[in-house]
Structure formats: structure tokens, C-alpha cells
Amino acid sequence: MTTMTDTALAEFKMPDVGEGLTEAEILKWFVAPGDTVTDGQVVCEVETAKAAVELPIPFNGVVSELRFPEGTTVDVGQVIIAVDVSGGGAPAAAAQTAAAPVEEPSPAAEAAPADEDEAAPTGRQPVLVGYGVAESSTKRRARKSAQDQADAAGTYYAAAVQAELNGSGTAAASAAPAASAASTAPAEPAAPSAPAGTRPLAKPPVRKLAKDLGVDLTAVVPSGADGIITREDVHAAVAPAPVAAPAPAAPVSAPEPVAAEAAAPAAPVAGARETRIPVKGVRKVIAQAMVGSAFTAPHVTEFVTVDVTRTMKLVDELKRDADKHGFAGLRVNPLLLISKALLVAIRRNPDVNAAWDEANQEIVQKHYVNLGIAAATPRGLVVPNIKDAHAKTLPELAASLGELVSTAKEGKTTPAAMQGGTVTISNVGVFGVDTGTPILNPGESAILAVGTIKLQPWVHKGKVKPRQVTTLALSFDHRLVDGELGSKVLADVAAILEQPKRLITWA
């Protein structure tokens, strides 16, 4: 997404992030006019209707102009930043020159002749930002123009951003040949196989993750194709490290503001009676989705109040003996057992786990459970889900919940993590609320609201005693779930929380 002008200015355009999105809001600039930028450096953070994402620049140079201020919504294809590359060379060449401390050519490459017609040795050759390696041909190709190099690099970075938003590396992989061609443009022959100490192969988002976690990529063992380091590799590298501070008690608790200056409304003017806040980005999509769900799916909500004293005792026991029960380093809270109770109830009543196909007028039965957890973030409500939660053990479920919470708290939840949910839990109890009538997440069949757990007078074994009590509310799509089925699911969840030993006998 770049163009080159006659004045050696390279222009970077707002990339097409796919999925029908046509615009994005600039949340924050990380550079200013006059700053020096290098290939792969993150220059700004933008927010689409799907998520917030950081954009890397695909060339070296000096920032000449920022075309739009923070808070501006920009259409895809508009130029957002101009960079003077007269001193840094074209994008592909800059990756080999200005970034020399990271990827330094071998002495053999420096001493090789620069004649384009002379054959170059076959071998592995570095490409942009570590997206794999490519075989060089036995005969050098013609030197590409600066315009061709800029277009190739821009296409490559736009595809990388799209791949990150889509939760896969497909788009980046499809663009890799263009980037590889750009990187082979300089006349110097390619170096032989990469020497020890060469920059590890990893995508920009993975490098950012490693930087945030303090992981040295040179010490990470790659598991991806062609030796590419994946997110899982980075997380695995920090797994043995001491566990960070515990996450909040439940994922719906408001996290610490991330980029709060971009998300928060402007301070009201003294004496003003009204403040208008533009609805855009994630908040706009939330509004549209909730309206669509509320007026498309016929909602039914049922309630049950249950004594969860035994469940709370089990939570305390698992916390005290975390090592013995396999929860070392994991957060154990009531939400964990509530999630497991819902999964067991779905296993006993599988018809509740379905979706309505309006186009084909079909009910789609799902034989897997992607468990959504509603979480409040500075940019609004998000509902990431735990993939294949039905197949996880209790410790595995605890680990997935902890990762989901920390990711949402940092505002780093990806669109892929929010897609494909089947049922959802909304823990409104952390706000001191007894219960509610939750609206279904679009495309899902049911949502369970969990109220606050507090001491109440309760008849237990014929006597009134103070017991830990909560109220559960289950909303479901009446096209898919009739009253009997919905009641069975809610009653099973309540029964498990009242007698948690049923987690064993019913599972």
C-alpha cells in the first residue's frame, strides 16, 4: 500500500484489512514528522469495526508528513503517512542496508560481483521481516524500479495486517512471493545459507508479542513452516517463567484502560448540559449486533436461585492445594466451575448447542462448544471464546480463561478469538448485580448470566442458615430451544453448582 513520488517521498496507504471493512480510525501515532523510521517499525495504531491493530511501515526513511491526526476515520486506500526515502533507498533495499545490524550479509556476499548477468549461488536468502525464505534463481533477474519495489513491499505489509486481523497467516503467505521478489532486487548476489545469529523468522505481530513478554526470539524454538516462530512458540518460551500477577476475579471486570486517550470521550465543557460522543469502531458494531440479535432471535429468559456454598468451598480447596490438583500458577475462581458446569449441562442436553441458518431454514447442530466469555474493555464489550472448551480438562480450562482475561485486559483480543462462539457466559455479578436478561451473542443459541454470590438466609437441612447464594439467568433462542430444553440446561447448571461432585458423576 505504498507509492513513490518524483521527490523521493514514499506514501503509505491505509491497508485493506478485508472482511468487507472500508475504513479505520487512527487511534495513535507513534512517530512524528522528522522521525527516522525503519522497515517493519510500527508507526500507528488503528481501530476497525473488528479490532485495534498496529501498522508497520514497509521502508526506511524520515517521516515527512502525517496526513491525518489522531481520532480521524480514514477510508481504505487513502495515504496516511509520507516518508522521505531519498537517504534510505527503496523499501526492499533498505531492509538489506539500513537494517544491517539485524540482517548482516556474509563476507562472501559483499565480495561477490555485482554484475546482474552473472549467476548467483543457489541458497537460502533473507526476506522481509522474517516471513520465510525463498530459493534464488541461478540467473539474476533484471533490477526492479523503485516504484515496483514500493508496491511489492506495500502489498506484502497490507497482507500481513489482513492476516493478523483474520487470525491466520493465509494472506501473508499469499503475498510472500511479491515481498521475496522485492527483497531480491538489489544487484548484490544473495548470501549463502543464513549464518548463526541471523534475525529469527517471525511475523511483525509475533515480534511485538515477544517484545511485550520480554522474550528473546533468538532463543525460541520455531514450530512453524520454514522455521517461522509462531505465537504459540513465544507463549511456550515464557511458560516456565514465574507467573505474573493474577488476573481480575472475573473477565467482565473493567480492565485498566489501554490507549485510554483514544477511547475515552472528550472532557465535558464546564457548564455544558450535553456531550455528544461519535459512535464508531467497536462500539458501533456492538450496537448493530445487539439490535440485530434482539429483533431477530425470539428471546426467552429463565431464572433460578441456587445455594453455591459447596462450590465456593471447592474453589477455596483448589486454591489452597493448587499444586496437588494441577492448578499451579493458574487462577481458580467461581467462574471456572460455572463454566465447567455449563459445559457438562450442554453435554447432557446437546440440542441446546445449535445455530439458526436463516438462508437455508435449517437448524445447525454443533458437536463442539466454543465457550464465549463476555468481557468489558476500554473500547466496549467483547466476547472472545475458548475454542473446543468441551474437550478441555479443568486445569486446561483454567489456563484458557486466564489467557482470555489477560488478553482482553490489554485490549489485544483478535477478531479470530471472537468468531465462531456457540454459547456465552456473562458474569454480571462482579458489579454487584443479582441477575439480568442478557441478549444473545449473534449466531449463538444461549447465554448464561451469573449474578453476584453473597451470603443470604437459606433453608438448609430444615434450618435457616447463612449460605452462599446466587441467581442464574439463561436466555435462549426460542426458534432453537423450547422451554423444556432450556429449563433442563439451567436446572443442570444449578444442580452441579449446588453439588459440585456431579462434575464427576455426570461427566
Per-residue model confidence as pLDDT tens digits over 311-363: 999 999 999 988 888 888 899 999 999 999 999 999 999 999 999 888 888 89
Beta strand extents in 345-422 (DSSP E only): 354-357, 362-365, 371-373, 375-377, 380-382, 385-386
pLDDT band at 246 (very low <50, low <70, confident <90, very high): very low
Residue ranges of domains in the chain: 2-199, 282-505
Mean pLDDT of the chain: 74
pLDDT band at 231 (very low <50, low <70, confident <90, very high): confident
C-alpha cell at position 243: 507467573
CA distance 60 to 78: 20
- Do domains 2-199 and 282-505 share one topology? The answer is no
pLDDT for the residue numbered 17: 57
CA distance 15 to 163: 12
Instruction: Give me the torsion for CA of 141, 146, 148, 149, rounded to 10°.
Output: 80
pLDDT for the residue numbered 241: 42
CA distance 446 to 423: 5
Q: Which of 14-18, 53-57, 129-133 has the lowest mean pLDDT?
A: 129-133
Q: Which of 126-140, 291-305, 444-458, 472-486 has the lowest mean pLDDT?
A: 126-140
pLDDT digits (tens, 9 = 90+) for 1-22: 555 545 588 889 888 655 556 7
CA distance 357 to 422: 13
Residue 412 has pLDDT above 50, yes or no: yes
C-alpha cell at position 389: 472448551
pLDDT band at 399 (very low <50, low <70, confident <90, very high): very high
> Phi and psi of 362, rounded to 5°?
-135, 150
Among 56-70, 83-97, 169-183, 281-295, top mean pLDDT goes to 56-70
Q: Which of 255-259, 262-266, 311-315 has the lowest mean pLDDT?
A: 255-259
pLDDT for the residue numbered 493: 97
**CA nearest to 185, candidates 283, 261, 97:** 97
C-alpha cell at position 152: 511489492
pLDDT for the residue numbered 50: 62
Instruction: Name all contacts of 407-411 with Cβ < 8 Å and 24+ positions apart.
Output: 408/251, 408/255, 408/375, 408/377, 408/382, 408/384, 409/247, 409/248, 409/255, 409/256, 409/258, 409/377, 410/255, 410/258, 411/52, 411/255, 411/258, 411/259, 411/377, 411/378, 411/379
CA distance 92 to 59: 7
CATH code for the structural domain at 2-199: 2.40.50.100
Residue 78 has pLDDT above 50, yes or no: yes
CA distance 17 to 15: 6
Which is higher by pLDDT, 281 or 53?
Answer: 53
Establish how many alpha carbons lie within 13 A of residue 404's alpha carbon, considering only the half-sphere containing its beta carbon. Answer: 31
Residue 145 has pLDDT above 80, yes or no: no
Q: C-alpha distances in angstroms, 136 versus 120, 128, 181?
A: 8, 15, 10
Among 107-111, 119-123, 304-308, top mean pLDDT goes to 304-308
Which is higher by pLDDT, 28 or 109?
Answer: 28
CA distance 312 to 321: 14
**Angle between helical axes of 309-320 and 483-498 (0-180°, round to 10):** 50
Pairing between strand 354-357 and 36-37?
A: unpaired
Average pLDDT of the residues in 156-183: 44
Tell me the CA end-to-end span of the chain in Å, nearest whole number. Answer: 53
pLDDT for the residue numbered 465: 95
pLDDT band at 205 (very low <50, low <70, confident <90, very high): confident
pLDDT band at 243 (very low <50, low <70, confident <90, very high): very low
Residue 149 has pLDDT above 60, yes or no: no
pLDDT band at 128 (very low <50, low <70, confident <90, very high): very low
pLDDT band at 405 (very low <50, low <70, confident <90, very high): confident
CA distance 397 to 391: 9
Most distant CA pair in the chain: distance in Å? 96
Pairing between strand 299-307 and 463-477?
A: antiparallel
Q: Which residues are catalytic?
A: 478
Element (H, E) at 29: strand 23-29
Element (H, E) at 310: helix 309-320
pLDDT for the residue numbered 117: 43
pLDDT for the residue numbered 126: 44
Instruction: Give me the torsion for CA of 329, 221, 42, 214, rounded to 10°.
Output: 40
**CA nearest to 410, candidates 35, 51, 20:** 51
pLDDT for the residue numbered 7: 58
> Dihedral of CA 179/183/189/193: which sign?
negative
Among 191-195, 263-267, 390-394, 436-440, top mean pLDDT goes to 390-394
Among 153-162, 177-186, 226-235, 399-408, top mean pLDDT goes to 399-408
> Phi and psi of 147, rounded to 5°?
-65, -45
Q: Which CATH architecture has domain 282-505?
A: 2-Layer Sandwich (3.30)
pLDDT digits (tens, 9 = 90+) for 418-438: 889 999 999 999 889 999 998
Average pLDDT of the residues in 452-480: 94
Check if the beta carbon of residue 356 is closer than 8 Å to that of residue 390.
Answer: no
Which is higher by pLDDT, 40 or 110?
Answer: 40
C-alpha cell at position 94: 533498505
pLDDT for the residue numbered 450: 96
C-alpha cell at position 207: 515480534
Average pLDDT of the residues in 359-370: 91
CA distance 48 to 416: 14
CA distance 488 to 476: 12
Which is higher by pLDDT, 122 or 380?
Answer: 380
